[in-house]
Structure 1
Amino acid sequence: MTRQHRSDLVSRAQQRARQLRRTLAQYSYEYHTLDAPTVDDAVYDGLFAELKQLEADFPEIIVSSSPTQRVGNELKGGFRKRQHSSRMLSLNDVFNVQEVVAWVQKMRELAAPQPVDFFTDIKMDGLACSLVYEDGELAYAVTRGDSYQGEDVTHNVRTIRNVPLTLHELEDTKPFCKGRTEVRGEIIIDTADFATLNQQRQQQGEPPFANPRNLAAGTVRQLNPKVAAARPLKFRAYDLLRSDASNPETFAQAYYLLRLLGFSCNQQAAVHQTADEILGYIEHWSDERSRLPFNTDGLVIKVNQRQVYERLGVVGKQPRAAIAYKYQAEQTTAVVRDIILSLGRTGAATPVAVFDAVQLAGTTVQNASLHNADEIARKDVRIGDTVVVYKAGDIIPQVKEVILSLRPEGTAPFNYEAELARQHPDITFQRLPGEAVYRAITPSSTLVQRAIEHFASKAALDIEGMGPRAVAALVEAGLLQDAADIFTLRADDVAKLERYGEQSARKLIQAIDVARQPRAERFLFGLGIRHVGSITARDIMRHFGDFAALRQASEEELLEIPGIGEVVARSIYGWFADPNSQRLLDKFEAFGVRPQQTQQESSQGLLAGKKFVITGTLQHGSRDEVAELISKAGGEFQKTITKTTDFLVVGERVGASKRAKAEAYGVQVITEEELFTKWLK
């Protein structure tokens, strides 16, 4: 690095540091002096961390007034299934303190006349696991699975260094070192260990792992225990059970005994007498959770007395006497390095902000949605801006706002149409009146690739081996010009491509042959017709049964289908009327693709006339697959709860809002297990 280059870097760092110090000073004044903060704590912390890093990289820019200078689950075929001695339950989520207060009051009423207190702990973001000891020796370890049974992962758990292979026998623990003792807890990777591991991978030219939870879960499911032994897994225990039911009387006592037995437990756990004490605990860890050695998204709150806890029973897959309080979405800051316009399967150009990797809600994030042209203009997001990034529902990264005080000089508003022309010079885009998105109206290799990816995707024809990289290679080689060309591929042509050998080419052709007779609703969804998602495709094919009948349908006939409005009907009719679409369908037919007739909805099934809404994470398949089973039994699947809904089917990780709406409308709430044991048996 030349002296001049170093000088330029220092100058830019100094300018950025001045902006950060001014902004942090203003935020600090609002928070401490005015008691009226204008930004989330996470925003301040993110900017503070950036300044601290700048000063570490360029020590010459440090000034004494700087705020930094103050003293301050895919199943593997090789895994054996094991039954749990008692169900390994997940917890019901609550999202505000009002729900916590109401729950505490309800627990006191249900427990009366026996007085109760409450055990609180940090909710770890890892993989739930049960360790079973026989006469003090580790016998086996099982994942939570579907709460009734899980996968035997003993070979990997034995490699975790803080898991005792033999229980520590002391005066207080002697009874637990005889017979059968079960220890339940969470397998995690500490954030510091995760960062070190990713740093090592990057130095070796390997891509970083996404987040600690996924890495922990994936590692535990490795068939080769050497992989688990090489990774920094840890086990933190939270419950102690005995086969003879001589369990600790309270959860607090269980923690005490677990530590004596040799297990790591959270040091942050506490016992509270009142709702106010619990709310204080919530507030404390809302501010302090970033200091924890592991990722968390909430707190666990239980009735401390086990006898009461067990007496209050279970609702579905969730114990009545325990809840998980979930924190709001995390936020951080990032500098926008670029704004790309990404093309989807329908030709819509979606703007995406690109920035250096940041940690957000335990995940490495490098881009965030900007939704559409109107949203960019409203927020005035520019390349070079420092923005607040958050996760909506802790899932999808989005840009919340621009920190204008940190905007560099010389930035210009994002010119959407000019960028479309620059980034996609071979495509013409159109924005229709009343719409917020620009759509491609001319064909291109990028659009062809997206359409083929969608057609071969798991939700459509589910062609194994036909992922984005494979499609890109086949399109680039000139072997695919549309989705129908998939069925003209030959193994010897595919084998010539760089990433294929003879065996992988044969496997791809075999998968393609299996896909020649797809279910009609999957085939329809795979065509990528605008406004036709998987549920709409299923409803349409249930109505027509035969794909040929749909192909000849008028717009009026489409409007006869319940739930299909004018916009959707017009889109479908227009697509089938297009000569290009007709040529594509003729090619499919010529290449031996025969969509299989969809059975008409049963009116005599056990669920005849019943309407269902599904929410949460399911164990018996995807939401679409379970909805299909309901329909085959004569029931009707609805996307949202209405006054006509009969049942709300709840899986895992269910929020409180849908339950509340179901109660308001008098809708019966049933678990996924009840659906399958009572209605779909």
Structure 2
Amino acid sequence: MSPEEAKKRIKALLAEIKQHNYNYYVLAMPTINDFGFDKLLEELIALEKQFPEFADPDSPTQKVGGFITKEFKTVQHKWPMLSLGNTYSEQELLDFDQRVKKAIGDNFEYVCELKFDGLSMSLTYEDGKLARAVTRGDGVQGDEVTPNVRTIHSIPKRLDEGNYPQHFEIRGEVFMHLKAFERLNEERIENGEIPYANPRNFASGTIKLQDSSEVAKRPLDSFMYFLYTDKLLFKTHWESLQAVKSWGFPVNSHSKLCTDITEVLAFINKWDKERYNLSYDIDGIVVKVNNYSQQQELGFTAKSPRWAIAYKFKAEQVETELLSVSYQVGRTGAVTPVANLKPVLLAGTTVKRATLHNANEILRLDLHEGDSVYVEKGGEIIPKIISVNPAKRKPDAEPIVYRTTCPACGTTLERKEGEAAFYCPNDEGCPPQIVGKMQHFIDRKAMNIDGLGDETIDTLYQKGFIKHISDLYTLYQHSDELKLLGRFGEKSINNMLDGIELSKKMPFEKVLFGLGIRYVGQTVAKKLVQHFKTIEKLKIASFDELITAEEIGERIANSILEYFNDENHKEEIEKLKNHGLQFVAEEKELNLQSEKLAGKSFIISGVFENYSRDELKDIIEQNNGKILSSISTKLSYIVGGNNMGPAKLEKAQKLNIPIISAGELLEMLNQ
């Protein structure tokens, strides 16, 4: 056999064996017997031995997996992995369509894709080779699981030659086919092991295994659905899907390009019925605006894109018995009623409890003791009671009455005007609130303190080592006492203390969010830090000063005032300052080139031929101009490009705000 013939045969064998592996491990539908498969493998081994220059490093003749990871490295996403907004009704979808039309006009298309019930994954490719695989995590950063993802047969480890960029990122879903899941569970039952609840849990758990040789034994599959590149390669999402498919990525064949919302609704109705014929689970349809420049114009909220939405299919419902109602106290003092149920199987898991949200919900349901209730999973995640079956109610059943005192500390509950929830006001003496605040403070999204978890916080509180957040920073004084508890080894104590010390370097917005002020989430904390710069200015800010800050409304302003009016809170902040935590904004280094735009504010809208939006933003800020997020009378100019949203255009004209081009902006700087 000539070298050229050997090269072709090796390539053909690789493709054939890969397909057989896929059929066996993933689809659980082998199309060749073991003997025939072994013969193909033997032929490949012989050819690779004779012609080693043509051997593929990802060949199935090489050992699959075997890499044991002690822990997963946390990696920051270059492009955040945002979640999608959910809708559960056609009317909400029509409302979404109207919002899109108001922003970009009527000339646009949608792409509809099946919403897979699996694990989101981001893959980075360098020079056509898989360089890194990262889970979604919190959307900003996730766990690197590259060795495990390399074992998934449908994900290419190295691309054939093609017209793809040197560096790109592709997003998709890792999941398991139903037949493979059933086969695996049957094996587990035969071996006396506990079966898995559903394919989604299985896929998620498998990706987090520390031995990739074990991952390789478990049949996972994938579909890719979004491409990210430094420079825009395509004008539309649909074009990019066809391109990545040609590069060798698994792209679902059921996606559809739709011209209007009517076609979208028809697609949804079709798959609401046909989803049960698929070999994998889906829980809805994802709807995306097709054109990338229009996506850019629509932009993002803090949590999700405004150009996409997920329509969730109606959740499965089951009927069961209400056994009792208990109450949970959250870190903000909100007291949430919880229904304790007779265990029932729902959407692949056994449900024993369901949220009742608040006192209003108990009244709406007209809930009585021992009621027969209908339960579903909200968003197919959180169980909730939908309604009661009054036909099965006992004649002497007493109505459920919301309690008036805190279940944890006995304090009389309060309810603020206009709010649905009851609160325990004893935030300094109510154990669940104290523990909850500390657990929130150490959370990954807040101070991200390594070596500390929720259970550890609870233990340290129960043993009397910590009663306030500031007590975390004096734990080093008790290291010898901690060793005597038996629960902590010397290494874990050192890791915990190192993590606490390292947290002192976390930026002001993380500290502010970590304080747990009601209604001050991550985004609000950032806006407050950008506006007030220091905790001292924020502490003394009046109501009028607070609401001038971006995204700060009356409810948030009142909550901040209430927080800083409490002497205990001010004392706690002083202690944290003395321990070295950051309460001053990090000033972003700005290469200020001139003061030519000082006192002027801008919004950038549309698509530009010679500049990206970020480049224009940098030009404005480098010349001391300010970027605003919304159109108001405070705005000086809109820098407008192609496909500027009609809603912005209409509002700008109404307020007589000048619209200038990128060229006119540069002329202002040249004057």
TM over 0.5: yes
Q: How does 1:397-416 map to 2 (within 5 A)?
A: 398-407=384-393, 410-416=396-402
Q: How does 1:264-303 map to 2 (within 5 A)?
A: 282-298=268-284
Structure 1 position 458 matched with structure 2 position 450: no
Structure 1 position 228 matched with structure 2 position 212: no
Task: Write the letter of the residue equivalent to 2:493.
Answer: A
Counterpart in the other structure of 1:448: 434
Q: Deviations over 1:323-374 (max 9, x none)?
A: 98854443232434443322122211122334446545x8887654433212
Task: Write the letter of the residue equivalent to 1:429.
Answer: L
**Deviation at 1:485?**
1.0
Structure 1 position 438 matched with structure 2 position 422: yes
Task: Write the letter of the residue equivalent to 1:349.
Answer: V
**Deviation at 1:160?**
4.4
1:331 alignment partner, SS class: coil
Q: Deviations over 1:492-548 (max 9, x none)?
A: 333344442111111111111123355344333333333444444444444443334
Structure 1 position 596 matched with structure 2 position 563: no
Work out the CA distance in 1 between the residues paired with 2:475 and 2:218: 42
Q: Deviations over 1:91-129 (max 9, x none)?
A: 9999758999999xx9x9999xxxxxx998745344568
Aligned length: 514
Task: Write the letter of the residue equivalent to 2:566.
Answer: D
- Unpaired runs of 5+ residues, structure 2, are 1-70, 137-141, 165-169, 227-232, 298-306, 606-616, 639-644, 654-671
Work out the CA distance in 2 between the residues paired with 1:82 and 1:459: 17
- Unpaired runs of 5+ residues, structure 1, are 1-74, 112-117, 167-176, 240-244, 304-308, 614-625, 649-658, 668-681
Work out the CA distance in 2 between the residues paired with 1:664 and 1:521: 35
Task: Write the letter of the residue equivalent to 2:492.
Answer: S
Counterpart in the other structure of 1:373: 359
Counterpart in the other structure of 1:501: 489
Task: Write the letter of the residue equivalent to 2:455.
Answer: R
Work out the CA distance in 2 between the residues paired with 1:534 and 1:152: 24
Q: Residue 123 of structure 1 contacts residue 324 of structure 1 at CA under 8 Å; is this kept in 2?
A: no
Give the TM-score taking structure 1 as reference length.
Answer: 0.56
What is the percent sequence identity of the aligned residues?
28
1:339 alignment partner, SS class: strand
Work out the CA distance in 1 between the residues paired with 2:586 and 2:356: 41
Work out the CA distance in 1 between the residues paired with 2:373 and 2:556: 37
Task: Write the letter of the residue equivalent to 2:512.
Answer: L
Of the three residues 347, 351, 358, the one matched with 2:337 is 351
1:430 alignment partner, SS class: coil
Q: Residue 521 of structure 1 contacts residue 537 of structure 1 at CA under 8 Å; is this kept in 2?
A: yes
Counterpart in the other structure of 2:513: 525
Q: Against the structure 1 CA distance between its residues 156 and 507, is the aligned structure 2 distance closer, same or farther, given a 3 Å change threshold? A: closer
Q: How does 1:507-518 map to 2 (within 5 A)?
A: 507-516=495-504, 518=506
**Deviation at 1:487?**
1.0
Q: Residue 357 of structure 1 contacts residue 366 of structure 1 at CA under 8 Å; is this kept in 2?
A: yes
2:275 alignment partner, SS class: helix
Counterpart in the other structure of 1:23: none
Q: Residue 492 of structure 1 contacts residue 502 of structure 1 at CA under 8 Å; is this kept in 2?
A: no
1:489 alignment partner, SS class: helix
Give the TM-score taking structure 2 as reference length.
Answer: 0.56
Q: Deviations over 1:234-275 (max 9, x none)?
A: 356999xxxxx9xxxx99xx99x99xxx99997978999999
Q: Against the structure 1 CA distance between its residues 612 and 215, is the aligned structure 2 distance closer, same or farther, given a 3 Å change threshold? A: farther
Q: How does 1:538-549 map to 2 (within 5 A)?
A: 538-549=526-537
Task: Write the letter of the residue equivalent to 2:116.
Answer: M
1:342 alignment partner, SS class: strand
1:479 alignment partner, SS class: coil
Work out the CA distance in 1 between the residues paired with 2:99 and 2:332: 46
1:529 alignment partner, SS class: coil
2:438 alignment partner, SS class: helix
Work out the CA distance in 2 between the residues paired with 1:391 and 1:265: 29
Counterpart in the other structure of 1:471: 457
Structure 1 position 342 matched with structure 2 position 334: no
Q: Superposition RMSD on alpha carbons, in Å? A: 6.3
Work out the CA distance in 2 between the residues paired with 1:646 and 1:196: 65
Q: Residue 142 of structure 1 contacts residue 151 of structure 1 at CA under 8 Å; is this kept in 2?
A: no
Task: Write the letter of the residue equivalent to 1:462.
Answer: N
Q: Against the structure 1 CA distance between its residues 403 and 276, is the aligned structure 2 distance closer, same or farther, given a 3 Å change threshold? A: same
**Deviation at 1:481?**
1.3
Q: Against the structure 1 CA distance between its residues 548 and 313, is the aligned structure 2 distance closer, same or farther, given a 3 Å change threshold? A: closer
2:470 alignment partner, SS class: helix
Q: Residue 329 of structure 1 contacts residue 390 of structure 1 at CA under 8 Å; is this kept in 2?
A: no
Counterpart in the other structure of 1:609: 601
Q: Residue 97 of structure 1 contacts residue 279 of structure 1 at CA under 8 Å; is this kept in 2?
A: no
Task: Write the letter of the residue equivalent to 1:609.
Answer: S
Of stretches 332-341 and 451-460 in structure 1, the one that deviates more from structure 2 is: 332-341
Structure 1 position 190 matched with structure 2 position 177: yes
**Deviation at 1:473?**
0.8
Q: Against the structure 1 CA distance between its residues 496 and 184, is the aligned structure 2 distance closer, same or farther, given a 3 Å change threshold? A: closer
Work out the CA distance in 1 between the residues paired with 2:566 and 2:75: 50
**Deviation at 1:606?**
11
**Deviation at 1:483?**
1.3
2:271 alignment partner, SS class: helix
Q: Against the structure 1 CA distance between its residues 376 and 577, is the aligned structure 2 distance closer, same or farther, given a 3 Å change threshold? A: same
Work out the CA distance in 2 between the residues paired with 1:576 and 1:275: 48
Task: Write the letter of the residue equivalent to 2:316.
Answer: T
Structure 1 position 584 matched with structure 2 position 572: yes
